[in-house]
Structure formats: structure tokens, C-alpha cells
Amino acid sequence: MGDDPVIGADRQKACPAVLVPASLSSLVAGYQWARDLVGQSGGAVYRLDGKPDAPDLFLKHGRDALAEEITSEMVRLRWLAGYISVPAVTHFVGAADEAWLLMTALPGQTAYQLLEAQPAEQIAIVDALASFLRQLHAIPLGDCPFTSDHAYRRARARERIDAGLVEEDDFDAEREGWSAEQVWDALQTLMPLAPDPVVTHGDFSLDNILLRDGAVVGCIDAGRVGIADRYQDLAILWHSLGEFDPCLQERFLARYGIADPDRGKLHFHLLLDELF
């Protein structure tokens, strides 16, 4: 992303400019628009680029429950910017049932894109991801005003199940054909969970981490940032790396500093993530 993107046709699609609130009109004028196909489910994510002498931008738009999530992301981005590199909030428009979030685009490419395009560099990429996650997890707990622990997320997950919001056809392959209730029941068998709290990203996947010149330049999609067990982040990235090579999973945990991973926690957080 940023000033040197390599964007696959399966990840973004050119689209006309959309109608935005009046306070955003001048900020998005003159840009070319593309709909992000990897963006937030249920809402819309747009990439804005091609405007001379102007930075590339991203615009998120959502209604109802998703508007709340976008508002949460805006607040967390502004806080997290004091500690690590994240998109800068350019403008925000929010109401009870709708939200618009305009942000700068980070330079570089996603970890997923680089792992796919540069097989010879996969070990170095994984090492950079582990180093960045250690930096994130080193943020002092007392500085973080947000809670995202497993008790909080289980309560939100239960609300999503009851409201019929869980996308059961999007579960990982190992849970294909499961219902949300089956995932919920499996979660319960792994309780209680001894917490090891750190400041977590909450959705630390390969699509949400940007690298350039071999180093992580920042992360995106920060709406779940908060204090939680460190395996919240470890599990998601560990699982993502399995798509490429199990050796990368082992390398990631070792470089992060975990010689003997807690398989129960990995499984718990992957189950929990299915419900969001």
C-alpha cells in the first residue's frame, strides 16, 4: 500500500466515487477510487489514490453495529499512534447509526502479499513480524484504556451469535460445516483460561501488517486493540502463517520468544476469532 503498492485484482476493484458527507467532500475530491475486497465485512473500505501531490488515503464506511466498530477504531488509532506506526486519522464523521473514517495509507505492502511474492524472503519477513509484535506487546498496560480480554470478547461473541451476525460459511477449513453454537460449545471446553495480559492488536493477521524494505512500517484495522492475553495476537498470526509453511509458524513463535507454545490457548483464540 502507500506509494509503491502491488495490488492484486482479487484484492481491490476500481469503482466510482461514492457520495460522502459534506465535511468530507473536499478531502476526497480529485482521487481515484477502488473498493477494497479484503476489507471489513458488512461495511465498505475504499482506497483513494492518484491525486497529484496528495497522500493516498483509505475511507471506511459502516452503518449500525459496524458504525460502532469504526468509531472504536478511530479512538484506538488516535491512542495507538503514540506508541507504534498506524494510519493517521484525517477526518471522522459519526452518528448513532453511521460512521465515516478517513485515514492516511501506510507505505509498503501487506505481509501476505510479500510472503506470496517473495518466497526467498519469508524467514526475514516472519522475523520482522515477531519483532514488531514484541514492540506492541511491550506497551505499558497502565497506559492502555481499552479492554479486549477473553471475558469481554466472549460476551461480545455471545451477543453476535444471538443476533445472527456470525458468518458460519466463513469458518476456517477445520470447522467447515460447524454452526456458531458448536464453536461456542467448543470454547467452553477450553475454559478457564489463565490470562497473560498485554496490549494486543486483536486481529494481528498477515493482511493487517505492512512492510517496506524488510521492516514493518505499521499495522491497520485497529478496532480491537486492547488489553488481552498475548495469545490473542499470537494465535491469529500463527494460523495465518500455516497457509504458507508450518516451519514459518515455528519460526514466528521462536523469534517472538516462546519455545513451548500453549496449544490450548492457540486453539481457544482461533475458536473465538471465528465468532467475529
Measured CA to CA, the distance from residue 266 to residue 269 in angstroms comes to 6
Cα–Cα dist 97/63, whole Å: 5
Q: At 37, is the pLDDT very low, low, confident or very high (cuts 50, 70, 90)?
A: confident
Amino acid at 213: D
The answer to whether domain 12-104 and domain 109-274 are alike in fold is: no
Reported as a single tens digit per residue, the pLDDT across 186-234 is: 999 999 989 999 999 999 999 999 999 999 999 999 999 999 999 999 9
In angstroms, the CA 186 to CA 275 distance is: 12
Contacts of 159 by beta carbon, 8 Å cutoff, 6+ apart: none
Q: pLDDT category, 5, cuts 50, 70, 90?
A: very low
Highest CATH level, class, for 109-274: alpha beta
Cell triple for 198: 498485554
Q: How far apart are the first and last CA of the chain?
A: 25
Task: Tell me, yes or no, if the pTM score tops 0.75.
Answer: yes
* Cβ–Cβ < 8 Å for 45, 57: no
Q: Which of the four pLDDT bands, split at 50, 70 and 90, describes residue 51?
A: very high
Could you tell me the CA-to-CA distances from 176 to 33, 172, 263, 272 in Å, in that order?
A: 35, 6, 21, 15
Give the CA angle between residues 150, 155, 160 to the nearest 5°: 120
pLDDT tens readout for residues 244-253: 999 999 999 9
**Residue 49 forms beta bridges with which residues?**
32
**pLDDT tens, residue by residue, 92-118:** 999 879 999 999 999 999 999 999 999
Q: Are 205 and 226 in contact (CB under 8 A)?
A: no
Superfamily of 12-104 according to CATH: Phosphorylase Kinase; domain 1 (3.30.200.20)
**Residue 11: Cβ within 10 Å count:** 18
* Closest-CA residue to 269 (of 102, 146, 150, 101): 150
Q: What one-letter code names the amino acid at 184? A: W
**Sign of the dihedral through C-alpha 250, 255, 260, 266:** negative
d(CA 219, CA 241): 17
Of the candidates 204, 28, 215, 13, the residue with the CA atom closest to the CA atom of residue 109? 215
pLDDT band at 4 (very low <50, low <70, confident <90, very high): very low
What residues are annotated to the active site?
Answer: 203
Instruction: Please say whether the beta carbons of 255 and 131 come within 8 A.
Output: yes
Cell numbers describing residue 39: 476489507
Domain extents in the chain: 12-104, 109-274
